[in-house]
């Protein structure tokens, strides 16, 4: 099979590392070769962050390049737009509609762009916008946005529910397990 | 057992399996996790050293004593440790000694893009370069074999995309190496001129022996391709990009050892293809070596000297198809890294900005003080350069500079290489103002302990340097501590020490807001009736504050209740949040 590509994009500190860990665990369990590429350090401090998840029979490059992503999981709307170029034409974007102003917007040097979902759709992306923050709150913890997003992503991937559940159990600390399971279901059924 | 494992964790696993006994490192992105992961194995003694030179010498001592030893650093750390490195090449080792160095092309978290392969050639040491986690593990173990067989330290070169990518590796059990008891051998280990003169020819011969080994070793391998119009030489992550871009179209000479090079293997490979292409990030290192062999080769005329490569960049230059993509037409605002909400450095940098100081900075989270709106940094060079740079600046300009120029350096960086700068300033009677921003942790690399925190790498109680006593012992009479959350106190301290006509140290002390033991106060609340939308609170560049419909808004998921913004509000609109019931 051809290598499949999922990107996780967001703002440093939003919890994308748990999402990629969980995906890696799931995909390895499904018998795929997997590569997951992260960036640590300076860029984590509230900057734009991206994680690449690739799987298939044999994966060579650890990174996803422009026009290659089958899906983008986005923790923040502006970040989805920033990485749009990496999406395959017609690819899927699962987008948390949360807005986090970057420093140039806070200082007034730039404006936060309006209508990003529509603009991305007009450019040919299949955008699935979701207020993940509210759903995470409903699940019991605002930090469970990552599991809401993964729940939504699971909707578009043909892996058994049991495999997702097993990956959640393996990657989430026991005391947060129930909240995260709820968040996953809320995302999936949204 | 197969496992999806981070490249750095795979190196740590290789250390474990190879029977490594001692690891000493200084944290630096993208190398930090190697030593953190190694510390999870109780069989390996692991520590953070104050700097890379000390770490390397510690590892050397352990090797001399007869135990397999290791140290890791980022590329610029090898500059600090270059002094022991070059002479360890002469002494060789007793038990195996492996040094991991992690380059950072595209500077995800670094101040330059230097190419560490030059060190292997300059110090006449072998360098292995893995291209994924499986190789990171295998090459680490191989490095110990080579180290003992050829009596040499071995360099293991990582880069961001290998260090910080997870891929699948096969794990094995630990093998305790045979004992190599220490025996006195001054001609080998005392590098005074008479002995070193005899060691140098040994080094040269060793390099020839290693090159001969490289000719037949399977870590340098040829992969056949369907067309011989092009033959590609690559190593590390570039090899993976080439395979992604080209599949099995062209033959590839995949180098796992980038110094010394298998000259015959390269010549034979070149002879079998129409055109030789080297794909490498950084400098034309392999390309230059091919040219040195008299080969007609293309490399940097196709690929840039700067940044990282990728499958598309390689495909494009080799005339292969590149996937179509779409983008939005409008320019999107950048999202640069920022100081976190509640960062204790913020209050200090706000003060320096307000006072219009010239700020000679250093390496750490506080380098972000250079970003707008704080914009309070004039120079950042390398670890420790703030204090020595300030001393020179003030000696050059005298009083006009002394009254408005400061050095800012973190606690870990101060111990790394700021102490010697302060010794110089005290000894040579500098009238300088040095600010140590002490957040009680090595922050930027992700919370590592250091000699000022009182805890070891494994979080156990450890020695603790008393910064105030240390500065006084060096001869600094004016040493004071200030809380950077208290803007008035901060301003008074900076003004007074700049005015003083002698060397001063201000310790701006408050632990990093992200440390687990630091209590988080409830988020501040904006009183919309009092807020006039004047944006005074936004001058500190806190990511938790934004404007919404003309009023300030505090993001409760980010705010830690530090209250610095409240001190800027002239209308009392930012109120402390209430503790949850």
We report the CATH number of the domain holding residue A155 as 3.40.920.10
Q: What is the pLDDT of residues B155-175, one digit of tens each?
A: 999 999 999 999 999 999 999
Q: What is the pLDDT of residues B175-206, one digit of tens each?
A: 999 989 999 999 999 999 999 999 999 999 99
- Say which residue the tokens 């809380």 belong to: B483
Q: Give the C-alpha separation, B270 to B249, whole Å.
A: 16
Among B240, B311, B328, select the one facing A84 at the smallest CB separation. Answer: B328
Q: Do A60 and B240 touch (CB under 8 A)?
A: yes
Q: Give the C-alpha separation, A24 to B370, whole Å.
A: 37
Instruction: Give the pLDDT mean for A60-73.
Output: 98
Of B8, B80, B1, B73, the C-alpha closest to B40 is B8
**Distance from A39 to chain B by nearest Cα, in Å?**
6
Given a cut of 80, is residue B223 above it in pLDDT? yes
Instruction: Give the model's pLDDT for residue A17.
Output: 86
Given a cut of 50, is residue B581 above it in pLDDT? no
Which 8-state DSSP code applies to residue B417?
Answer: I
B:9-28 residues touching chain A, CB 8 A cutoff: none
Instruction: Give the model's pLDDT for residue A42.
Output: 60
Instruction: Give the pLDDT mean for A157-169.
Output: 94
Q: Do A109 and B538 touch (CB under 8 A)?
A: no
Q: Do A85 and B327 touch (CB under 8 A)?
A: yes
Peptide bond connecting B186 to the previous residue in cis, omega within 30 degrees of 0: no
Given a cut of 50, is residue A107 above it in pLDDT? yes
The mean pLDDT value of chain A amounts to: 93
Instruction: Give the pLDDT mean for B327-336.
Output: 93
Burial class (CB in 10 A: 0-12, 13-18, 19+), B566: middle
β-bridge partners, B45: B22
Range of the domain at A122: 4-189
- Say which residue the tokens 């890791």 belong to: B72
**Distance from A143 to chain B by nearest Cα, in Å?**
9
Q: Do A41 and B325 touch (CB under 8 A)?
A: no
Q: How many domains does chain A have?
A: 1
Instruction: Give the model's pLDDT for residue A41.
Output: 62
Instruction: Give the angle B174-A37-A5 at the CA atoms, nearest 5°.
Output: 125
The mean pLDDT value of chain B amounts to: 97
Distances from the Cα of B106 to the Cαs of A40, B281, B308, B326, in angstroms? 13, 10, 6, 24
Q: Do A84 and B340 touch (CB under 8 A)?
A: no
Q: What is the pLDDT of residues B243-301, one digit of tens each?
A: 999 999 999 999 999 999 999 999 999 999 999 999 999 999 999 999 999 999 999 99
**Distance from B545 to chain A by nearest Cα, in Å?**
8
Of B47, B30, B37, the C-alpha closest to B15 is B37
Helix pair angle (B263-271, B285-292), 10° resolution = 80
Given a cut of 60, is residue B10 above it in pLDDT? yes
Given a cut of 60, is residue A43 above it in pLDDT? no
ipTM: 0.96
Instruction: Give the pLDDT mean for A134-144.
Output: 94
- Enumerate the residues of chain B whose CB falls inside 8 A of the CB of residue A55: none
Which 8-state DSSP code applies to residue A6?
Answer: E
Instruction: Give the model's pLDDT for residue B438.
Output: 97
Among A12, A41, A85, select the one facing B444 at the smallest CB separation. Answer: A41
Instruction: Give the model's pLDDT for residue B181.
Output: 97
- Count Cα neighbours of B7 within 13 Å in the Cβ-side half-sphere: 32
DSSP alpha helix (H) spans, B100-192: 117-123, 133-150, 160-163, 186-189
β-pair type (B231-235, B45-48): unpaired
Q: Do A66 and B538 touch (CB under 8 A)?
A: no
Q: Give the C-alpha separation, B547 to B533, whole Å.
A: 8
Burial class (CB in 10 A: 0-12, 13-18, 19+), B324: exposed
DSSP alpha helix (H) spans, chain A: 16-29, 77-82, 103-106, 116-122, 132-139, 145-154, 161-171, 177-189
Residue B322 tokens, joined: 């590149």
Given a cut of 70, is residue A53 above it in pLDDT? yes
From the candidates A49, A62, A68, A80, which should be mutated to test the interface with B, based on the most B CB atoms within 10 A? A62
Which 8-state DSSP code applies to residue B300?
Answer: T
Distances from the Cα of B94 to the Cαs of A170, B64, B150, in angstroms? 43, 5, 11
- Enumerate the residues of chain A whose CB falls inside 8 A of the CB of residue B111: none
- Enumerate the residues of chain A whose CB falls inside 8 A of the CB of residue B344: none
- Enumerate the residues of chain B whose CB falls inside 8 A of the CB of residue A12: 337
**Distance from A68 to chain B by nearest Cα, in Å?**
7
B487 in contact with A at a CB cutoff of 8 Å? no
Sequential DSSP letters for A45-84: TTSEEEEEEEEESS---SS--TT-EEEEEESSHHHHHHTG
- Enumerate the residues of chain A whose CB falls inside 8 A of the CB of residue B4: 24-25, 28, 34, 36
- Enumerate the residues of chain B whose CB falls inside 8 A of the CB of residue A13: 340
Instruction: Give the model's pLDDT for residue B140.
Output: 98
Instruction: Give the model's pLDDT for residue B146.
Output: 98
Q: Do B325 and A67 touch (CB under 8 A)?
A: yes
B336 in contact with A at a CB cutoff of 8 Å? yes
């Amino acid at each position: 099979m051809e290598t499949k590509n999922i990107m996780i994009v967001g703002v440093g500190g939003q919890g994308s590392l748990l999402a990629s860990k969980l995906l890696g665990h799931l995909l390895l369990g499904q018998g795929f070769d997997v590569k997951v590429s992260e960036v640590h350090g300076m860029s984590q401090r509230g900057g734009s962050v991206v994680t690449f998840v690739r799987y298939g029979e044999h994966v060579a490059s650890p990174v996803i390049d422009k026009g290659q992503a089958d899906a983008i999981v986005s923790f923040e709307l502006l970040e989805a737009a920033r990485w749009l170029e990496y999406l395959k034409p017609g690819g899927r974007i699962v987008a948390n509609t949360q807005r986090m102003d970057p420093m140039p917007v806070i200082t007034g040097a730039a404006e936060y762009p309006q209508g990003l979902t529509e603009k991305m759709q007009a450019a040919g992306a299949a955008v699935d916008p979701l207020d993940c923050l509210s759903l995470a709150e409903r699940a019991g913890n605002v930090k469970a946005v990552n599991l809401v997003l993964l729940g939504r992503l699971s909707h578009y991937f043909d892996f058994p529910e049991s495999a997702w559940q097993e990956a959640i159990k393996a990657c989430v600390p026991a005391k947060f397990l129930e909240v995260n399971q709820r968040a996953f279901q809320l995302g999936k059924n949204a | 057992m197969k496992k999806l494992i981070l490249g750095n964790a795979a190196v740590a696993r290789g250390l474990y399996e190879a029977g490594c006994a001692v690891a000493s490192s200084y944290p630096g992105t993208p190398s930090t996790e190697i030593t953190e992961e190694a510390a999870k194995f109780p069989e390996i003694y692991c520590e953070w050293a104050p700097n890379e030179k000390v770490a390397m010498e510690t590892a050397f001592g352990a090797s001399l004593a007869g135990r397999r030893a290791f140290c890791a650093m980022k590329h610029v750390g090898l500059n600090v440790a270059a002094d022991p490195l070059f002479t360890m090449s002469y002494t060789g080792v007793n038990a195996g000694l492996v040094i991991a160095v992690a380059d950072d092309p595209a500077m995800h978290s670094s101040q330059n893009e230097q190419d560490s392969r030059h060190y292997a050639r300059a110090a006449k040491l072998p360098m292995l370069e893995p291209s994924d986690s499986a190789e990171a593990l295998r090459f680490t173990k191989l490095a110990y074999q080579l180290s003992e067989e050829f009596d040499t330290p071995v360099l293991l070169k990582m880069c961001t995309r290998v260090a910080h990518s997870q891929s699948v590796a096969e794990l094995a059990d630990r093998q305790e190496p045979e004992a190599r008891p220490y025996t006195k051998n001054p001609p080998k280990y005392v590098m005074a001129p008479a002995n070193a003169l005899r060691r140098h020819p040994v080094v040269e011969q060793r390099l020839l022996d290693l090159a001969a080994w490289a000719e037949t070793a399977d870590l340098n391998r040829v992969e056949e391709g369907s067309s011989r119009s092009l033959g590609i030489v690559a190593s590390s992550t570039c090899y993976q990009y080439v395979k992604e871009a080209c599949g099995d179209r062209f033959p590839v000479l995949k180098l796992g050892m980038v110094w010394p090079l298998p000259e015959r293997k390269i010549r034979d490979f070149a002879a079998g293809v129409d055109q030789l292409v080297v794909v490498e990030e950084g400098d034309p290192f392999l390309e230059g070596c091919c040219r040195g062999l008299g080969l007609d080769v293309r490399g940097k005329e196709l690929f840039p000297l700067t940044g990282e490569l990728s499958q598309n960049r390689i495909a494009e230059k080799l005339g292969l198809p590149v996937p179509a993509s779409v983008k939005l037409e409008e320019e999107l605002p950048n999202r640069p890294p920022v100081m976190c909400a509640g960062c204790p450095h913020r209050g200090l940098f706000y003060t320096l900005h307000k006072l219009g100081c010239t700020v000679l900075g250093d390496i750490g989270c506080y380098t972000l003080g250079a970003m707008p709106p704080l914009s309070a940094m004039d120079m950042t060079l390398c670890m420790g350069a703030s204090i020595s740079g300030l001393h020179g600046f003030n000696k050059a300009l005298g009083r006009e500079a002394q009254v408005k120029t400061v050095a800012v350096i973190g606690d870990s960086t101060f111990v790394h290489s700021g102490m010697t700068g302060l010794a110089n300033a005290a000894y040579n009677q500098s009238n300088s103002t040095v600010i140590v921003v002490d957040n009680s942790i090595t922050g930027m690399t992700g919370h590592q302990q250091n000699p000022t925190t009182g805890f070891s790498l494994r979080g156990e109680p450890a020695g603790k340097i008393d910064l105030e006593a240390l500065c006084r012992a060096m001869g600094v009479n004016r040493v004071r501590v200030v809380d950077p959350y208290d803007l008035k106190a901060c301003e008074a301290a900076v003004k007074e020490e700049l005015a003083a006509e002698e060397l001063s140290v201000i310790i701006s002390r408050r632990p990093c807001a992200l440390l687990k033991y630091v209590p988080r106060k409830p988020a501040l609340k904006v009183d919309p009736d009092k807020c006039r939308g004047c944006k005074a609170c936004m001058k500190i560049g806190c990511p938790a504050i934004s404007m919404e419909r003309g009023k300030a808004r505090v993001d409760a998921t980010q705010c830690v209740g530090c209250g610095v913004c409240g001190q800027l509000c002239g209308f009392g609109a930012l109120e402390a949040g209430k503790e949850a019931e």
